[in-house]
Amino acid sequence: MIATTPVARWTWGRDNQAADKVVACLHELLTAYTVLARHRLASDVPNVSLSVHEAGKSNSHLFQGNFELDATSPSVDIAHQLADQVKNSLRPGMIGAVYAYAKSTDMMPGGTGALHGGELFRLGASAFVDYVSTDLVTFSDLWMPYDLKGRAQPAVHAANAPRLAAALRDLAEALGSETDPDDPTYFGKPTETGIDNYFDDGIASDVWSRFEIPYRYNEFTHAPGFGRIGYRRSADGEVQYVPVHGEHGVLGYLWASDTENAASFEPRDVEDDESYTAGLQWLDRLRSAHDRGLSPSQALAELAGLTENNKPGTLDLASLRDIASE
């Protein structure tokens, strides 16, 4: 299972006197990524995002970009090659902090014989003043004795937990710093060798239902930026709506209210990845329509392809949500 927010996080950090912060940051990131790839926890070709901040101006970037790298070369060589590309594109200004990260969305088959998708890991590195740090975040429960619903998974744990433990050990050695488990998350408690589950009265907790499902649903009912970005995602009273169909039936309902400047997607089953992913895509489309100046009803008509002979339904939002939850 893959959560929307981190399951666990580990960090490494040390003093660094290197004058070139871009090289230092990239070297840490690529060194760590090489360790993950060696333990078959990441693909061989990383996609790296890098940002260079202007000194004294946290919101000012001298560079932002993405790179797909050739992981067959030594990490130190790649770091220098990429740093040269970055420097040729830098805006004028003094370099402050440098940040880079890479995502691992797949890994080589483990003992279960399965290739797992989704965002398994996010690896980050930073360099500022005279210090470099690296952090590893996982969104998956593959390394835990029990999954996020509290169900035992001995075969999955046996196949993957030793790989994570070995990777954490080798990361400490490669980065020249002890592994520092971060604070517990909603889903698990990171240790120096892996992740521990939560237990209630001796029974593994169902943290998926307790935290992941409410978090997912919240995305459809609360607009970002404290409700100030895009349309509102909740309304009192009647709304216009259309059903959204997927391969296996109705995934949810796209709705709009001009009166309240609101529009969103009401998923039928937010736990279902197909419904959840489709819903997020509809939210992105609504955000784009808002940014183009469309009213909620205009956005609904355009996105749903409505015509004079194809009118949306009308219903109060509370009742529509009841229907979606049936």
Q: Strands, DSSP E only, in the chain? A: 8-15, 47-54, 57-68, 95-104, 121-128, 131-138, 180-181, 189-190, 195-196, 199-200, 203-204, 238-246, 249-257, 262-267, 313-316
In a domain, 214, yes or no: no
**Do 157 and 12 reside in the same domain of the chain?**
yes
**Do 39 and 120 reside in the same domain of the chain?**
yes
**Do 160 and 239 reside in the same domain of the chain?**
no
**Do 116 and 186 reside in the same domain of the chain?**
yes
**Do 61 and 202 reside in the same domain of the chain?**
yes
Question: 86-117 burial by CB neighbour count: b if 16+ within 10 A, else e?
Answer: beeeeeebebbbbbbbbbbeebeebeeeeebe
Q: Where are the alpha helices (DSSP H) in 152-272?
A: 154-175, 207, 213-221
What global pTM score does this model have? 0.87
**Which of 208, 238, 260 delimits the end of a domain?**
208
Give the range of the structural domain holding residue 252, as residue numbers without chain letter: 223-325
| pLDDT one-digit tens code per residue, 189-206 | 999 999 999 999 999 999
Is 67 a residue whose pLDDT tops 60?
yes
| pLDDT one-digit tens code per residue, 10-55 | 999 999 877 789 999 999 999 999 999 899 898 767 789 999 999 9
In a domain, 143, yes or no: yes
CA atoms within 13 Å, Cβ hemisphere of 53 = 15
Give the residue carrying structure tokens 């990524």: 33
Question: 269-287 burial by CB neighbour count: b if 16+ within 10 A, else e?
Answer: ebebeebbebbbebbeebb
| pLDDT one-digit tens code per residue, 146-176 | 999 999 999 999 999 999 999 999 999 999 9
In a domain, 1, yes or no: no
The total domain count for the chain is 2
Is 293 a residue whose pLDDT tops 70?
yes
Contacts of 15 (CB under 8 A, 6+ apart): 130, 131
| pLDDT one-digit tens code per residue, 97-141 | 999 999 876 655 454 444 445 678 999 999 988 899 999 999 999
For residue 47, count CB atoms less than 10 angstroms from its CB and return exposed for 0-12, middle for 13-18, buried for 19 or more: middle
**Do 192 and 237 reside in the same domain of the chain?**
no
- What pLDDT is attached to residue 172? 98
